[in-house]
Amino acid sequence: MNVAELLVKCMEHEGVEYIFGVPGEENIDVINALYDSTIDFIVTRHETSAAFMAGTYGRLTGKPGVCLATLGPGATNLMTGVANANMDHDPLVAITGQAGLSRHHKISHQYYDLINMYEPVTKWNAQIKTGEITPEVVRKAFQVAGQEKWGATHIDLPEDIADMEVDASPIKPTDRPHTEANPKIIKRAVKLIEEAKHPIILAGNGITRQEAITEMRSLIDKSHLPIVNSFMGKGTVSWENEHSLLTAGIGGQDYITCGFDSSDLIITIGFDMAEYSPKDWNPDGKKSVIHIDTEEAETDENYPVILSVLGDLKANLQQLGEQLESKERNMEWVAGVRKKALDEFESFKDDSSFPVKPQKIIADLRSVLKEDDIAISDVGAHKMWMARMYHCYEPNTCLISNGLASMGVAVPSAIAAKMVHPERNVVAVCGDGSFQMTGAELETAKRLNLPIIVLMWRDDGYGLIEWHQLKKFDRSAYIKFGNPDYIQLAESYGFEAMKIEKAEDLKPALEEAIAMNKPVFIDCPVDYSENMKLTEKLGDIIC
C-alpha cells in the first residue's frame, strides 16, 4: 500500500462520501486510489467551486466536506473556497498535491510553499513528509475541522511521498467531549436577563451548528424574549413566531435596528462577529452584552461583554430555559417592528412593473418553496434583498455566505445541497456577475443529473458596487458589462431555460421549474433602482 492509498483508507474511516475536485498531475496517485474506493470523486470545472461544494456539504451535514486540487494554480484556485469555508465556519478538509520534496529548496515549476500560503485561511494545516504520519495527519485534520468553531484544515501531499510504500493503519475517530458552563455562570446569566427591562437576543449560525434549535425555541417560548437573526442564523426560530424580529445585518437604520436601540441588554447566542460588526448595532458600545457561545468573544470596543457563557450551546440553552422564569413582557414594540417589516414584504406580491422588483422576486420565490426547501444566495445586491426579505421557517433553508462572502458560491453550493437533500427543492439565487464566476458548474449539475433551479437576477452589471458608489459619490463607474444569450448558454449545458418577459410570468415559471424535476435556468431581469429607494427609506426610519 502506498501513502495515497493509505490517505484514502483514512478518509473512508472518517466516513467521507464525496471528494470534490479537479485531477492534476501531482495528485494522480490519490485519484487512482479513489477509483477503487467507496468514496465518490466529483469532478468539478474549477477548484474554487470544489471548495464551495465541500463547504456547503459540511455545513448541511456537520461532517467535514473534502476537496482536492493539484499544486500551483490548482491549489491557489482552491484557496478562495477554503478561505470562504473557514470564515463561514463550514467544516472542510482541503487536500493539495505538491511537488516532490527534492524541489522544495529552489524555484521550481508550479511550486509554492502551500503550508505557509494556507496558514492564514485555515484552522490547521500540515504536509505529509513521511508516510507513517498519514493516519495522524488525517485524523487531526478532520478532528480540528469539526471542532467548534467549525472551519477549514489543509493537507499537503508531495507527489514522491504519495507513491511511497507504507505500513500503517487508519486511526479510529472518537467522539468529542462536550463541556457545559458552570452552574454559577448560568445563574448569573439568568439574573442579568430577568433584571433587564428590554433584553434582546441576537442569534447566529452557531445555534444550528450545535444542533440547539429545539432548546433555542423552547427558551424563546418560555422567556418571551424577542429574537433577531444574523444573515447566517436565519430560521433559528420561524419567521411566523411572534417573538421573531426577523433578520438584521444589512447596515444602516432598519426597522430591526430599532430593537437594538431600545434594548438595555443584548444576548448574543452562537454569533459570529465577522458577519455583523458590533459597531453597526452597538455604535457607542454602551449596550451590555451576554456572550453565549463555544469560545470567548473577540475583543471589540463595541462588544462590551459583562458575562460569557461558554461551552455546548445545546446544554447551556437547556439550562437557561429551565431556570428562566416564564415572564410576560411588553411585546407591542416587537409586534410593531414585525408589522412594518412584513407589510413591506406583502406590499410587492402583486407588483406588475418590469424589470421585476427585488421584493416581487422574493415574494414569488417564498410563495412557491416549501418550508424545508433550500434557497442559496450568491453574493451581490440580491444577497442584501434575500437576507432582509426572504423569511425562513427552518435553519439552513436560506444559505448565505457572510464571512468572506465570495462571489460565485451559489451554483456550486446548490449542487452540494441537492446531493445532501435530494428530496428538497434547491434554488441558487445569483446575479449575472456572480453567476459568470462559476457558471461552468451547470455542466457538473447536468452530468450528475441534479435538478437544481438557477434563478438569475440580471442587471448587466455589478449592482451591489453601483449601490455603494451611488450612496457615497452619487454616481457610478466601471460596473457595467456585456452578457451572453443566457437562454442559449443554459440550453447548451443541457438545462431547461426560461426568460422572464413580464413580472406576472415569474411565479408560474418557478412553479413549472419545480414540477419539471430537471435542471432549470431562469433569466429574470431585475429593477435595481429599488436599491437607492431602500437606502432613502432606511434613512427615514425613526425609532
Q: For residue range 183-193, list pLDDT tens digits in order.
A: 999 999 999 99
Confidence band of 251 (pLDDT split at 50, 70, 90): low
In this predicted structure, the answer to whether residue 99 has a pLDDT above a threshold of 70 is yes
Measured CA distances, 218 to 143, 223, 244, 406 (Å): 30, 8, 13, 35
The DSSP result for 110-177, as a single string, is: T---HHHHHGGGSSEEEE--SGGGHHHHHHHHHHHHHSSSP-EEEEEEEHHHHTSB----PPPP-PPP
Query: Cβ–Cβ contacts within 10 Å for residue 267, how many?
Result: 27
Q: Which of 44-58, 165-179, 254-268 shows the lowest per-residue confidence on average (mean pLDDT)?
A: 254-268
**Stretch 125-144: mean pLDDT:** 97
Query: Cβ–Cβ contacts within 10 Å for residue 423, how many?
Result: 7
Backbone angles phi, psi at 163, to 5 degrees: -90, -5
**Stretch 438-443: mean pLDDT:** 98
In this predicted structure, the answer to whether residue 41 has a pLDDT above a threshold of 60 is yes
The DSSP result for 335-383, as a single string, is: HHHHHHHHHHHHTTTT---SSBPHHHHHHHHHHHS-TT-EEEE-SSHHH
Q: Which of 116-125, 240-249, 294-303 has the highest mean pLDDT?
A: 116-125
**Stretch 307-321: mean pLDDT:** 95
Confidence band of 252 (pLDDT split at 50, 70, 90): low
**Stretch 91-119: mean pLDDT:** 90
Higher local confidence (pLDDT), 261 or 324: 324
DSSP secondary structure letter of residue 256: T
**Stretch 64-85: mean pLDDT:** 97
What's the start-to-end Cα distance of the chain, in Å? 68
Which residues lie closer than 8 Å to 120 by C-beta, 6 or more apart? none
Distance of CA 62 to the CA centre of its chain: 13
Confidence band of 248 (pLDDT split at 50, 70, 90): confident
In this predicted structure, the answer to whether residue 250 has a pLDDT above a threshold of 80 is no
**Stretch 75-96: mean pLDDT:** 98
Confidence band of 327 (pLDDT split at 50, 70, 90): confident
pLDDT for the residue numbered 438: 97
Which amino acid, one-letter code, is at 273?
M
What grid cell was written down for 274?
Answer: 465577522
- 211 φ/ψ sector (left φ>0, alpha ψ -120 to 50, else beta): left
Which amino acid, one-letter code, is at 399?
L
Q: From CA 59, how far away is CA 397, in angstroms rounded?
A: 11
pLDDT for the residue numbered 538: 65
Of 152, 89, 75, give the one whose Cα is nearest residue 121. Answer: 152
DSSP secondary structure letter of residue 528: T
* Summary mean pLDDT of the chain: 93
Q: Identify the residue whose cell numbers are 427609506.
A: 537
Measured CA distances, 125 to 26, 82, 137, 152 (Å): 19, 12, 9, 9
Confidence band of 333 (pLDDT split at 50, 70, 90): confident
Report yes or no on whether pTM surpasses 0.75.
yes
Q: From CA 446, how far away is CA 407, in angstroms rounded?
A: 22
**Stretch 282-309: mean pLDDT:** 93
pLDDT for the residue numbered 342: 86
Is the bond preceding 278 in cis, omega lying within 30 degrees of 0? no
Confidence band of 540 (pLDDT split at 50, 70, 90): low
In this predicted structure, the answer to whether residue 109 has a pLDDT above a threshold of 90 is no
**Stretch 36-44: mean pLDDT:** 97
Higher local confidence (pLDDT), 458 or 345: 458
pLDDT for the residue numbered 530: 85
Q: What are the structural domains, with CATH classification, of the chain?
A: 3-162 (3.40.50.970), 183-333 (3.40.50.1220), 347-537 (3.40.50.970)
**Stretch 389-413: mean pLDDT:** 96
In this predicted structure, the answer to whether residue 104 has a pLDDT above a threshold of 90 is no
pLDDT for the residue numbered 108: 84
In this predicted structure, the answer to whether residue 261 has a pLDDT above a threshold of 90 is no
What grid cell was written down for 280?
Answer: 453597526
pLDDT for the residue numbered 539: 56
Q: Identify the residue whose cell numbers are 431600545.
A: 262
In this predicted structure, the answer to whether residue 212 has a pLDDT above a threshold of 70 is yes
Percent of the chain with pLDDT over 70: 98
Query: Cβ–Cβ contacts within 10 Å for residue 484, how many?
Result: 12
Q: From CA 151, how far away is CA 138, in angstroms rounded?
A: 15
